[in-house]
Amino acid sequence: MTTPPPDLAPAVLDVLRRHTGNPELQYAEPPVRVSGGFWADILAVRLEGAPPELDRDLIVRVMPEDEAARREIVVHTQVAAQGFPAPAVRLTGDATAGLGRPFIVMDRAPGRPLIPELGAASLLAHIPSIVRMPVRLARVAARLHALDPAPL
């Protein structure tokens, strides 16, 4: 994880202040840029003075394109609403909501990557996990395919 771009964290906080109506809302700790997204800027944040629905570890995904963002927001919202173990969506906005790009605020899921960053020394230790990966991914895919696609 790295530090977010200098302009994104203050802009996100401004949007969250407007949404909550709390001009005193602050970050409880500095936001951290999360790697792993292939097209979105992702921040991990924790707020101080937040209402109950935002008083938790959160992920803010700031996406570059409206149409793809709308689809992503619908999918995240619907799979969680149907009971799939996915982070709850807390807030969404389009490019006019204050960041100049669409965004989604969701719970930060506990845990760690299924396959951590591997170096030559740690590769051997992770072979059992890597070998089980196809079965794990197939089970997740089967659960997703069992969801009602109508709301999507």
Question: Using one digit for the tens of pLDDT, what is the confidence trace for 10-60?
Answer: 999 999 999 999 999 999 999 998 877 678 999 999 999 999 999 999 999
Backbone angles phi, psi at 46, to 5 degrees: -135, 130
Q: Tell me the whole-structure pTM to 2 decimals.
A: 0.81
Percentage of residues in the chain having pLDDT higher than 70: 88
| Mean pLDDT within 79-87 | 91
- Cα 19–Cα 110–Cα 20 angle in degrees, nearest 5: 10
CATH class of 8-111: alpha beta
Domain residue spans of the chain? 8-111, 113-152
Q: How far is CA 39 from CA 24, 32, 146, in A?
A: 31, 17, 27
| Mean pLDDT within 81-92 | 93
Answer yes or no: is pLDDT of 68 > 80. yes
Closest CA to 43 of 24, 70, 16: 16
Q: Tell me if 55 sits within 8 A of 28, measured CB to CB.
A: no
The letter for the amino acid at 93 is G
| Polymer length in residues for the chain | 152
| Mean pLDDT within 94-98 | 93
